[in-house]
A and B are shown apart, each in its own frame.
Chain A
Amino acid sequence: MNIFYHFGRYLLFIKSMFSRPEKFKVYYQRTMMEMNSIGIGSLPIVAIISLFVGGVTTLQIAYQLVAGLVPKSIIGSIVSDSTILEFAPTITCLVLAGRVGSNIASEIGTMKVSEQIDALEVMGINSSGFLALPKITAAIIMLPCLIILAMVLSIWGGMLVGDLAGILPIESFLKGARSTFRGFTVTFSLIKAAVYAFIITSVSSYQGYYTTGGALEVGTSSTRAVVYSCVMILFADYLLAQLLL
């Protein structure tokens, strides 16, 4: 029954966010700030992860392709397809669930336990909308951009490692990547990114918003935000693949 209680309360929390903003300009400014924090702030970690995931994927596929009959260019095909379809959106968002999710949950959780959210409510401000909506909007805009960057860097990393390690030249890698490329996979990946962005920010905001207690509970909320976001991302990953592919 506990899961139904939380799911119901989560839906009510989402619903409560969508009332008319008290002042659009303030919400706009907050969204811009969150775009900077979530998007620009995540650039280094996304870049590092993407480069390494691409490089390691190339090395491991080359290790598995022991039969001489398979053309080396297939490595480029597999690396680019798996990167676009799965690695870039899912792995990046799982990592961002840790970085962004814990940050959101602890920020809102601390505001909750120090009565700052009560102060917003007493002023007549819709606290859930004021705190969570700019974060959700910012993430839905910025995460697809980060995922595009992750795709580019991951494929570039795979291509570079393939060339430097003497596995296959850049031309072969690109030939393989182009041979199986389908435009819809990018669209699918961006849909996934937007869905994951909503999951990470809404689940984390929910966890923070309903924190009760003190510092210890803020930490617990933060951990729960990351764990639940990751589980929901994997669940959504399966559901979207089943529905859209």
Chain B
Amino acid sequence: MIEVKNLNKSFGEKHVLQNVSAMFAKGRPNLIIGASGSGKSVLMKCMVGLERVDTGEILYEGKDFANAVYDEKKAIRREIGMLFQGGALFDSLTVEQNIMFPLNMFTEMGKEEKLERVNFCLQRVNLVNSNKLLPSEISGGMKKRVGIARAIALNPKFLFCDEPNSGLDPVTSRVIDNLILEITEEYEMTTIINTHDMKTVFDIGERIVFIYKGKKEWEGNKDQIRSANSEALAEFINASVF
């Protein structure tokens, strides 16, 4: 489980996150939704340590990540996998080398064992026979899948997905959503998805946090979202669903 308590983050005079508190359930997909510029990306960056918080706590199974020293942060980060918006694949490495990268860095596995793990991860994201391709040779949807395969290579406890559907066609978006859901359930990961795709929200939104102008405006699930007592949320849903 991940818990965020009274998180504040400013960039200069701009108060981007204001006293945000939320809880993200273990083994389930948790969604952070909100309009562009609402602060949801900053919240996710704070949670994985890419941005330093001004005040507040981020608890990974009770361990405070936000105020931890560098080595403690590193240890927690090794239990985190992240799928970036653009994939963030190392463009000079092949698909196989990309997935093998965390294994090379953090395990003492032999070459055969690593290759076996890479092939397993590729199979899990339905990408076989793509080992030798470079990121520049694969499609956007494939990049996301390779990103997921790399993120799960070390069997992380926590999976973060930053706008996993951005730039993808509707069919591929659903495939990626289902893949994330399957992996979350299969490995009992605490998955946090940052999105503004309402189809994703209604498909897999078991726990949703709505961020509006840097504040947590609403928290609930997909069944409660339409009846939520929030004008901003209603406007956000109505603008997206047609």
- The answer to whether A122 touches B91, judged by C-beta atoms less than 8 angstroms apart, is no
- The answer to whether B50 touches A118, judged by C-beta atoms less than 8 angstroms apart, is yes
Is B132 on the interface with A (CB-CB < 8 A)?
no
CB-based nearest B residue for A118 = B50
Which of B69-77, B168-176, B189-197, B210-218 is the interface stretch? B69-77
Q: How many contacting A-B pairs (Cβ < 8 A)?
A: 52
Question: Measured between alpha carbons, how far is A119 from B89 in the docked complex, in Å?
Answer: 8
Q: Of A19, A116, A119, which is in contact with the most chain B CB atoms at under 10 Å from its CB? A: A119
Is A171 on the interface with B (CB-CB < 8 A)?
no
Q: Nearest-CB distance from B134 to chain A (Å)?
A: 14
Given contacts A121-B49, A123-B78, contact A114 B86 (CB under 8 A): yes
- The answer to whether A22 touches B84, judged by C-beta atoms less than 8 angstroms apart, is no
Q: Mostly helix, strand, loop or mixed at chain B's interface?
A: mixed
Is B240 on the interface with A (CB-CB < 8 A)?
no
- The answer to whether A123 touches B90, judged by C-beta atoms less than 8 angstroms apart, is no
Which residues in window 14-57 of A have CB below 8 A to B? 19, 22-23, 26
Q: Nearest-CB distance from B95 to chain A (Å)?
A: 15
Is A68 on the interface with B (CB-CB < 8 A)?
no
Q: Of A22, A122, A125, which is in contact with the most chain B CB atoms at under 10 Å from its CB? A: A122
Is B11 on the interface with A (CB-CB < 8 A)?
no
Q: Nearest-CB distance from B117 to chain A (Å)?
A: 15
Q: Nearest-CB distance from A110 to chain B (Å)?
A: 8
Residues from chain A with a CB closer than 8 A to the CB of B77 are: 121-124
Is B242 on the interface with A (CB-CB < 8 A)?
no
Residues from chain A with a CB closer than 8 A to the CB of B90 are: 111, 116, 119
Chain A interface residue count, CB cutoff 8 Å, equals 16
- The answer to whether B50 touches A23, judged by C-beta atoms less than 8 angstroms apart, is no
Question: Measured between alpha carbons, how far is A125 from B50 in the docked complex, in Å?
Answer: 12
Is B56 on the interface with A (CB-CB < 8 A)?
no
Is B31 on the interface with A (CB-CB < 8 A)?
no
Candidates A111, A118, A122, A125; contact of B105 at CB < 8 Å: A125
Residues from chain B with a CB closer than 8 A to the CB of A111 are: 90
Candidates A114, A116, A119, A124; contact of B74 at CB < 8 Å: A124
- The answer to whether B82 touches A119, judged by C-beta atoms less than 8 angstroms apart, is yes
Which residues in window 96-128 of A have CB below 8 A to B? 110-111, 114-116, 118-119, 121-125
- The answer to whether B74 touches A118, judged by C-beta atoms less than 8 angstroms apart, is no
Is B152 on the interface with A (CB-CB < 8 A)?
no
- The answer to whether B106 touches A23, judged by C-beta atoms less than 8 angstroms apart, is yes
CB-based nearest B residue for A29 = B104
Is B88 on the interface with A (CB-CB < 8 A)?
yes
- The answer to whether B82 touches A22, judged by C-beta atoms less than 8 angstroms apart, is no
Known A-B contacts: A26-B104, A111-B90, A122-B77. Give 5 more (CB < 8 A). Answer: A23-B106, A114-B86, A116-B90, A123-B105, A124-B75
15 contacts between A and B (CB under 8 A): A110-B91, A114-B91, A115-B86, A115-B88, A116-B88, A116-B89, A116-B90, A116-B91, A118-B50, A118-B84, A121-B50, A122-B77, A122-B82, A122-B160, A125-B105
Interface of A toward B, CB cutoff 8 Å: 19, 22-23, 26, 110-111, 114-116, 118-119, 121-125
The 3 closest A-B pairs by CB, nearest first: A124-B77, A115-B88, A119-B88
